[in-house]
Structure 1
Amino acid sequence: MSLLYADDECLNKPINHTRLNMHAVELFQPRAIAQATHIIKPLLVSADIPIEAGELSLFSTHPQTINLITPNQQLITIHRYNNGLSPMGMVLKSSDFDDLLTFLLDGEIPLYQLPTGELQIGLYLISLATHVCQLTLKSHSLINKSDIASLLKQINQPTGLFGELSNNLSGEYPPQLEMLCSTMNNLMNGIADDITPFIGLGPGLTPSFDDIIVGMLAVISGDHRFTTQMRQLKLAFEPLPLDLLTTKVSVSFLTYALQGKFSLLVQQVIKSFEKHNYRHSSIKNLVNYGHTSGSDLLLGIWLGIDRFVLRD
C-alpha cells in the first residue's frame, strides 16, 4: 500500500511524549478496560499527537473525522484516509475508519488513552507503531509572489466572509482584513493590541478569521527572519482565553500554528509554492477543504506573503 501523505523527510521524527504526564501514568488504572480483540494500525500519525493517559471523551463525529478529547481538553483527531492529517491526528484506512465510526455511533463506548499513547475504544486498540509524520513547517521563502497571485486569482471558491478568493488579491483589502494585519504586525513587534475581536469570527467549525490567522502563520512562522516576531506573538497569545473565544477544534489548530505546526495539506501547499509547482494536487485539495476553510486558509497564506514575507 502506498502512502500519499508525506515525503520521506517528514517521516523521521518519533512521537512527542513530552505532553505525557508521568504522574498520571503512575496513577493510571482504568476502571475496566476489556481485552482488545481488534487491533488497528494507522497509516500515519502526527509526531505531536497529544499523549495523556486516562479516560477520553467523544467530542464529535463527522464523515471524515472523529474527534476525541483528553481530560486536559486536548483534541485527538482520527482522519479517514485521503482527508489529510492534522497536528493532533492520525490517519486510518477507510474500512477501519468506517468500522470505528459505526462502533462509536452504536452506543456509549469506553474510551481510553494508554500510557503508551495507544487508544482503546471498546474492543478496538489503535496502535501508534506506524509511520510518524513531523508537522513542524520550515519554509525557505523561495516563492514567486506574482505567480502565486496569478494562481489564486483563478480560484473562485467563496471565503467565509469576503466573497470569492479571487476577489481578494488586489492588495486593497476589506477594512477587517486591514485591521487584522495591523494587529498581527503590532503584536509581532511587541506593541500592545487586542486580537480577541477576530478570534472566533466568521462561520464554520473553524471560524473564518481563525483559518486566516493559521494561514498567515503558515507562511510567517517557518521563515527564520521572523523568529523574534513569532516569539512576541506567542507571548501575546498566551494569556488569551481561546476556549472562550472560539471552537475547540479551532483552538487546537491555532495552538499548534503558534508552535509552527500545521496540517500536512497546508504544508504541501507551502512546499509546492516554494517549488513553483502550481499544479500540485494539494492546492486543489486545500481549495475543496471544508465549506470555506480551504479558501480562508489560502487567503491567510496570501496575506502572510503580501503583508509580511514579501511586503512591497
Structure 2
Amino acid sequence: MIKTDQICVIDALKIGDEVEDILEKSDSRLRVHSIFEHAINLINDSDWIITLLPEGYPAGPQAVILTQENFARFKSLGLGAADTFDFNKLIGTKKSQIIYRRSGDKPVPEDIIKAESNNTYFESLLSQKGNKNGLLGKDNMYSRYAAPILSEFQTLFLEQRFDEAGEKLLGLIGLGPGLTPSGDDFVLGVFAAIYSFGMNKDIISSLKNIMAQKAKNKTNIISYNMLRQGAMGGFIEWAEDMADAVIYGDPQQIEAAFSRMLKIGSSSGSDISAGILFGITNILALLKQKTTESH
C-alpha cells in the first residue's frame, strides 16, 4: 500500500451514484486492477470496480471523473497493477457532482410511430457508419454464432416468456473481441433500450436477475461490472443518450448521440448501439402485438 499521508488530496469532479456504496463495502481500500491511457480500474475485495476517467469521457455508475490535470497527477504517482491504497485519503469526493442514473422513471413514449421512424433511421445510420468487427458485422464468426440466439430471443420475447429470453441473452456473454467483449456490449445495449423505453417491472426483473446471478462466470470482471450495473439500470451517459434519442428524439439528436458512441472503444460503441437497436426493435414489435390483441 502506498503512503498517502504526504500526498495532496485529488478532488474529483463527478462520481457515479454507486461509488460511495462500493467504498463503504471495502472500507475504501482498493487495489489497482488495470491501467490504460484514459482509464484506471480500481477493485475492492468483493470484485466491484471503480473506474477513474479524465473529464470529457462518459461517466457511469462506478466512475470517478477527474480533471485532465488531476488524472495526470494520479498516474504520476506510479501505481501499478496490484498496488493498493486508501481511496478516501487520496481522492476527495465530498464536493463532487453525483451522476444519478436516468432510467426507471421513463414513460412509454406516446408517439410510437415516431419511435419506429427513428429506429429505422438509426438502423440505416448504424449500417453505414458502425464498426463491423463485432456483432454488427453480418459475415464474421461472432455474428454468425449470435444469429440463432437472437432469433430465439425474439420469439421468446414476443411470447412474453421473459425469463427464457434472458437465459438466451446469456449465450452472448463473453462472445467476441475487446476488453468488454462484443456480446457483452450488445447485451448492455439491450438493457439500455428496455430501461429507456419505460418497460414494466416484470420484464426488467426477469432479465436483470438472470444477468446478475449468472453472467459473472461467463466474462471478465470489468465487463461483468458493466453488465451488473446495466441489469440494474445503470449505464454510461452516452448509452443513455443514444437510447433516449432514438425513442424520444429526432434524427439530429440520433446523429449527435451516435457520433459520441463511436468514440467508445474500438467496436464497443457500435456493439452497444446494435444492442439498443435490437432491443428497441423487439419492444416496438411487442407493443404492436399487444395493440393488435387488444382490438
Q: TM-score, normalised by structure 1?
A: 0.75
For 2:258 and 2:168, locate their aligned partners in 1 and report how far apart those are by CA, in whole Å.
32
Match status 1:135 vs 2:101: yes
Candidates 139, 144, 162, aligned match of 1:189: 162
Match status 1:125 vs 2:91: yes
Candidates 43, 51, 67, aligned match of 2:41: 67
How far off its partner does 1:103 sit?
Answer: 1.3
> In structure 2, do the counterparts of structure 1 residues 156 and 76 end up closer, same or farther at CA, with 3 Å as the change threshold?
closer
Match status 1:303 vs 2:278: yes
User: 2:32·2:80 contact (CA, 8 Å) conserved in 1?
Assistant: no
Greater shift, 298-307 or 129-138, is seen at: 129-138
> In structure 2, do the counterparts of structure 1 residues 230 and 291 end up closer, same or farther at CA, with 3 Å as the change threshold?
same
Aligned residues: 266
For 2:60 and 2:3, locate their aligned partners in 1 and report how far apart those are by CA, in whole Å.
28
For 1:107 and 1:147, locate their aligned partners in 2 and report how far apart those are by CA, in whole Å.
44
Paired residue for 2:266? Answer: 291
User: 1:220·1:304 contact (CA, 8 Å) conserved in 2?
Assistant: yes
> In structure 2, do the counterparts of structure 1 residues 184 and 262 end up closer, same or farther at CA, with 3 Å as the change threshold?
farther
How far off its partner does 1:296 sit?
Answer: 0.3
For 2:122 and 2:81, locate their aligned partners in 1 and report how far apart those are by CA, in whole Å.
48
Paired residue for 2:200? Answer: 226
1:146-165 matches, within 5 Å, as 146-163=120-137
> In structure 2, do the counterparts of structure 1 residues 61 and 189 end up closer, same or farther at CA, with 3 Å as the change threshold?
same
How far off its partner does 1:36 sit?
Answer: 4.8
Candidates 168, 172, 187, aligned match of 1:198: 172
1:222-301 matches, within 5 Å, as 222-240=196-214, 242-273=215-246, 274-279=248-253, 281-301=256-276
* Helix, strand or coil at the partner of 1:59: strand
> In structure 2, do the counterparts of structure 1 residues 146 and 238 end up closer, same or farther at CA, with 3 Å as the change threshold?
closer
* Helix, strand or coil at the partner of 2:199: helix
For 1:149 and 1:32, locate their aligned partners in 2 and report how far apart those are by CA, in whole Å.
49
For 2:227 and 2:80, locate their aligned partners in 1 and report how far apart those are by CA, in whole Å.
32
* Runs of 4+ residues deviating >6 angstroms: 183-187
In structure 1, runs of 5+ residues without a counterpart are 1-30, 166-172
For 2:159 and 2:47, locate their aligned partners in 1 and report how far apart those are by CA, in whole Å.
30
For 1:57 and 1:213, locate their aligned partners in 2 and report how far apart those are by CA, in whole Å.
28
User: 1:215·1:297 contact (CA, 8 Å) conserved in 2?
Assistant: yes
Greater helix content: 2
How far off its partner does 1:178 sit?
Answer: 2.1
* Helix, strand or coil at the partner of 2:42: strand
Greater shift, 47-56 or 294-303, is seen at: 47-56
1:36-185 matches, within 5 Å, as 36-49=6-19, 50-51=22-23, 52=25, 53-105=27-79, 110-113=84-87, 118=88, 120=89, 124-137=90-103, 138-142=105-109, 143=115, 144-163=118-137, 174-182=147-155
One-letter amino acid of the structure 1 residue matched with residue 283 of structure 2: F
For 1:174 and 1:195, locate their aligned partners in 2 and report how far apart those are by CA, in whole Å.
11
One-letter amino acid of the structure 2 residue matched with residue 44 of structure 1: K
Paired residue for 2:142? Answer: none
For 1:105 and 1:307, locate their aligned partners in 2 and report how far apart those are by CA, in whole Å.
45
> In structure 2, do the counterparts of structure 1 residues 110 and 188 end up closer, same or farther at CA, with 3 Å as the change threshold?
same
How far off its partner does 1:89 sit?
Answer: 0.6
For 1:32 and 1:205, locate their aligned partners in 2 and report how far apart those are by CA, in whole Å.
27
How far off its partner does 1:228 sit?
Answer: 0.8
Q: TM-score, normalised by structure 2?
A: 0.78
> In structure 2, do the counterparts of structure 1 residues 32 and 252 end up closer, same or farther at CA, with 3 Å as the change threshold?
closer
> In structure 2, do the counterparts of structure 1 residues 252 and 92 end up closer, same or farther at CA, with 3 Å as the change threshold?
same
How far off its partner does 1:196 sit?
Answer: 3.8
One-letter amino acid of the structure 1 residue matched with residue 101 of structure 2: L
User: 2:12·2:91 contact (CA, 8 Å) conserved in 1?
Assistant: no
